[in-house]
Amino acid sequence: MSEILQNIQTGAEKRFTGLGVSPGIGRGNTFVHGGVFVEPETYKVGQEEVEDEISRLDVALADTRKQIEQLQEQLQEQVGGTATGRREASIFDAHLLMLEDRSMLDEVTAIAREQRLNIESAFYRTINNYIGVLRVADDLYLRQRVIDLEDVMRRVLRNLSLMKPADHSVRHPHILIAHELTPSDTAAMDRSLVMGFATEVGGSMAHTAIIARSLGLPAVVGLRGICDVIHTGDALLIDGYNGVLIVNPSAETLAEYEVLVDEKDSAARRLEDLRDSKPETSDGRELTLSANIEFEHEVVIAKKNGAQGIGLYRTEFFYMHDGKMPSEEQQAENYTRVAKGVNPDGVIIRTADIGGDKLPGTVVEREANPFLGWRGIRLTLGRVEMFKTQLRAILRAGAAGRVSVMFPMLSTLDEMRRSRLLLEECADELESEGIAHNREIEVGAMIEVPSAALVADQIAGEVDFLSVGTNDLIQYTMAVDRVNDQVADLYQPLNPAVIRLLRMTVSAGHEKKIWVGVCGEMASDLLCIPLLVGLGFDEFSVSAPRVPAVKHALRHLSYDECKAMAGEALQDSDPQKILARCRAVAMESYSELLSR
Ligand code: PEP
Ligand code: MG
């Protein structure tokens, strides 16, 4: 038996380290999502889609092979050359052989081609037939292979993204462990029952992680193989600060964590006093500090934390609720409630940024490269009726409070112009229909694609503000998938290429006398804030729970010092050097926020 499994079974403490993507400490029993198998759906695909379906299977098989090999390696490292170890590792040899069973796989592809079935269903039906035959075999050895074949089948189906939505039927507090969670799984979590979650894949800029931070839910990602070693019912502690998962935490560990929780609580209480103070630098530069929200109910948290309104309302989560689009009426009511809730401050409503990792299922079809595909403004400009429904609702809410609109994922000036024209068309329609609205609402452009940053001067001439989405700007500048932890080291907010684009955007906006904000996660990164202040950003929009800490940071920085530091950073070629400059200013200004 492997050491890990032995430790878990004997109640010894065991730690696993991944990437902490949402701070906080949680305790509870484990619930491993995915333990319950859900049969795949069956549906017909078009003749022209059959080969694509088969390619999907090839990719899933290759992924599965890689995962099994990794497991095998891990096991070998842990158990060395012992006889038990060799026996356990050889189980995976059998799994690998099954993946290469040509006659079985040929049957799958034949069914997919002849019956035009989706590949999950063709695969599942074929393998299930084999399992049925093995189950009743006379030979004990063959009967025992059922479990292996089932294991391989489930892995492949999981890699074909057949995760069922998280099971929310568990009625006791628990820590959720899953291979992967979608943003909508996370959004649907009951905060009173889910104490935190850990996944095998994921990245800190994935929307799943962003939502976890908004919900204040501790989360650790990138724990490859965790579903295989932790089981439902195991006692678990999750440390989202340090990206650690502790199975069977010992009494000393629990005591240590109690101290940490107390420290964090008292630090949070100290920050509460800042609620009504201004986010102004120590040498008097006034900034705006607002909150990012995904759901209407977060307005209260934003206000409680002292945000000056909402700098980014990610409305697509509305669309994702049950895959259906809300009506104009429902949207207008929702936006109006948010506008009234933040009054006298304002709300910037971002039009639906559907696509990428935010897949509502019915709105976007599966794409090979979703982040480079039909996403954000590209999709809404292609679905004019849907887009106009949202624009009309936003204009209507504008009659009830300070509402602005901004457009996501712009890559060209033309997309901006076409969006504005549709906005005007909607205002004309509402006027002729006699429906209350405000056609004077401010219009902003999100700068989150390098091509938009490079023509920010042109875009700035046609809008009221710019808001930089650093999550995507970094992703697209560095060509690094924000959701993929394998390439996380290339996700570099302080790369010279990124900061040049940030600088260009701020200069472009200020030249045209409009304000420039940053609403990506970089705005709440305590090490990056000195640079953003120094580059001249006017507005910071951060997740609601981060507002107090960011306000404290801003109030302790000197704008002049940040400006000088940013000037030097712009000359640097080494991101590490830039980080060191930022860290030095941050440590000097608010070291109390950076400890532990
Ligand atoms: C961003 O890209 O930085 C951003 C704020 O938008 P989202 O995270 O929703 O893509
Ligand atoms: Mg974005």
Return all residues near 327 (Cβ < 8 A) that are at least 6 apart. 389
Of 472, 423, 477, 415, which is closest to residue 445 (Cα–Cα)?
A: 415
Task: Let me know if 91 is exposed, middle or buried by CB neighbors in 10 A (0-12, 13-18, 19+).
Answer: middle
Residue 562 is a catalytic residue: no
Query: How many angstroms is it from 351 CA to the middle of ligand 1?
Result: 12
Handedness of CA 191, 205, 301, 242 (dihedral sign): positive
- Look at ligand 1, atom 9, and give the residue with the nearest C-alpha: 314
Catalytic residue among 33, 95, 179, 207: 207
* Residue to mutate (ligand 1; options 21, 466, 471, 491; most atoms within 8 A of CB): 471
Which ligand approaches the C-alpha of residue 206 most closely? 1
Rounded to whole angstroms, the Cα distance separating 89 from 76 reads 7
Regarding the beta carbon of 520 and ligand 1, being less than 6 Å apart is answered: yes
Q: Quote the radius of gyration of the chain (alpha carbons, Å).
A: 26
CB-neighbour burial class of residue 291 (10 A; exposed 0-12, middle 13-18, buried 19+): buried
Q: Which of 186, 205, 294, 353 should be mutated for ligand 1, with most atoms under 8 A from CB?
A: 353
Beta strands 219-221 and 194-199, pairing class: parallel
Strand-pair category, 235-239 with 25-32: antiparallel
pLDDT along the chain (596 residues), means of 10: 46 91 93 67 85 90 83 61 56 80 91 91 88 79 72 82 49 87 75 91 85 90 86 91 95 94 89 89 98 93 96 86 79 97 97 80 69 93 95 98 98 98 98 98 98 98 98 97 86 97 98 98 97 98 95 98 98 97 98 81
| Pairing of the two strands 244-247 and 14-17 | antiparallel
Report the nearest-CA residue for atom 6 of ligand 1.
469
DSSP conformational letter for 580: H
Q: Would you call the peptide bond into 344 cis, given omega within 30 degrees of 0 as the criterion? A: yes
Dist CA 350 CA 309 (whole Å): 14
Do residues 387 and 421 touch, judged by C-beta distance below 8 A? no
State whether the beta carbon of 205 lies less than 6 angstroms from ligand 1: no
* 3-state secondary structure (DSSP) of residue 24: coil
Neighbours of 104 (CB within 10 A): 16
The verdict on the CB of residue 543 being under 6 Å from ligand 1 is no
Residue identifier of the C-alpha nearest atom 1 of ligand 1: 469
Q: At what angle do helices 50-79 and 102-115 cross, to 10 degrees?
A: 150
294 lines ligand 1 (CB under 6 A): no
Quote the pLDDT of residue 6. Answer: 47
In ligand 1, the atom with minimum distance to the C-alpha of 292 is 5
Give ∠ CA 76-80-82 in degrees, rounded to 5: 110
Whether 525 is in the pocket of ligand 1, judged by its Cβ within 6 Å, is no
Distance CA 95, CA 155 (A): 10
Q: How far apart are CA 274 and CA 530, in angstroms?
A: 19
Q: Give the length of the chain.
A: 596
Q: Which residue has the tokens 């490269």?
A: 369
Q: What is the structure's pLDDT at 162?
A: 46
Question: Is 448 a pocket residue for ligand 1 (Cβ < 6 Å)?
Answer: yes
Beta bridge partners of 194: 174
Residues β-bridged to residue 29: 174, 235
The residues facing 540 across adjacent strands are 289, 518
Q: Candidates 519, 521, 528, 546: which one to mutate for ligand 1, based on the most atoms within 8 Å of Cβ?
A: 519
- Are 230 and 35 spatial neighbours (Cβ–Cβ below 8 Å)? no
SS3 of 112-176: HHHHCECHHHHHHHHHHHHHHHHHCCCCHHHHHHHHHHHHHHHHHHHHCCCCCCCCCCCCCCEEE
d(CA 332, CA 342): 15
Q: Output the CA torsion sign for 448, 451, 454, 458.
A: negative
Whole-angstrom distance, CA of residue 540 vs CA of residue 521: 10
pTM score:
0.75
Q: Which ligand is nearest to the CA of 208?
A: 1
- Cα–Cα distance measured from residue 289 to residue 299, given in angstroms and rounded to the nearest whole number: 14
Q: In what order do the strands lie in the sheet with 244-247?
A: 14-17, 244-247, 235-239, 25-32, 174-178, 194-199, 219-221, 19-22
Ordered domains of the chain (ranges, CATH): 14-35+168-253 (3.50.30.10), 47-160 (1.10.274.10), 288-440 (3.20.20.60)
